[in-house]
Structure 1
Amino acid sequence: MTVDTVESTAIDRIDRKILAVLQEDGRITNTDLAARVNLSPTATAERFKRLMREGYILRFSAELHPGKLGLGLLVFVEVKLDRTTPDIFDAFGRAVARASEVLECHMVAGGFDYLIKARVRDMAAYRAFLSDTVLALPGVRETHTYAVMEDIKDTHVLPIAR
């Protein structure tokens, strides 16, 4: 997902409040959402539909506990490419999209080309992921790995000004 500035209708304070509440509880009923934003259920449902239609809400999903699923090790991997050409960027992007361990991959400006966020079982699984997946990606010249020892803040919630 790229960060796009897409032209759409302006959102007001109530729309922002709806979005903030939905980030806290995506399973909230329309009636409860309407009560939280001090609006009728009908008006709330219409605003919700518009926010979905205009792309403010991308999707709904469950947040899972990685450790309980055997994915206790979080790693960040800096990747430098041997060449930075459109064909290498495209091939790299397609290959990363197929790697199930990769949670996020961002092209960055600075001393390296991509930052990968991945989850694996443990350090042995990471070693296999590094050799079998990361180093096999098109154009990879060099990597630097950072294993996370402790999560200080881990959120998907965006700071919405109300």
Structure 2
Amino acid sequence: MSELDETDRRLLNALQREGRLSNADLSDKVNLSPSACHRRVQRLEKDGFISGYVALVNPRKVDRKTTVFVEITLRAQADDVLDAFEKSVARIPDVLECHLMAGQADYLLKVVAEDAEDFARIHRRYLASLPGVQGMQSSFALRTVRQTTALPV
């Protein structure tokens, strides 16, 4: 974080809140000239501080109202087992996140589904056939209390 000054942080915070700001509006928000603002944003992109721009889709509007967190324990920790699991899970369209964990579970997956029945389909079709799996524990989210994509900078 030492490469970021206060102006860079203001730029990142503004873009995290509203990624579609025009350069003119962004420069106004952070008190920079449009040309200086454009150069800084380009540098932040080039240096990897900004890795991309996306539209955040409302899951309820696309019938993905159910979020399930799945803890997975593997039979072994060998590199080939981990690699095979990670390659397979990366191909499952309903898995939004997959994290290698420290603790009881080896992996934590965030899965979206229409409902419990749809999750059963995802489980049968994809999760049950993941390589190297010894155990699986699924927890359904009842309500999302806080969700953000904005990192504190």
Matched, 1:102 2:102: no
Q: Secondary structure at the match of 1:117?
A: strand
Match among 137, 141, 147 for residue 144 of structure 1: 137
In 2, distance between residues paired with 1:16 and 1:76? 32
Q: Partner letter of residue 68 of structure 1?
A: K
Matched, 1:133 2:126: yes
Q: Secondary structure at the match of 2:56?
A: coil
Tell me the C-alpha RMSD between the 2 structures. Answer: 1.1
Matched, 1:74 2:47: no
Match among 12, 20, 23 for residue 19 of structure 1: 12
In 2, distance between residues paired with 1:15 and 1:51? 8
CA shift digits 1:3-52 (9 cap, x unpaired): xxxxx971100000000000000000101111111110000000000000
Question: Given the two structures, how large is their TM-score scaled by the length of structure 2?
Answer: 0.97
CA shift digits 1:98-148 (9 cap, x unpaired): 000000000000001000001011101111111221121110110111101
Alignment of 1:26-37 (within 5 A): 26-37=19-30
Q: Which residue of 2 aligns with 1:117?
A: 110
In 2, distance between residues paired with 1:9 and 1:122? 45
Q: Partner letter of residue 139 of structure 1?
A: G
In 2, distance between residues paired with 1:156 and 1:35? 23
Q: Secondary structure at the match of 1:35?
A: helix
* Equivalent residue pairs, number: 153
Q: Secondary structure at the match of 2:73?
A: strand
In 2, distance between residues paired with 1:9 and 1:44? 19
4+ residue segments displaced more than 4 Å: none
In 1, distance between residues paired with 2:74 and 2:144? 29
Q: Secondary structure at the match of 1:135?
A: helix
Report the alpha carbon displacement of residue 68 of structure 1 after superposing the two structures with TM.
Answer: 1.2
Question: Given the two structures, how large is their TM-score scaled by the length of structure 1?
Answer: 0.92
Q: Partner letter of residue 100 of structure 1?
A: P
In 1, distance between residues paired with 2:35 and 2:116? 52
Query: Identity, % of aligned pairs?
Result: 37
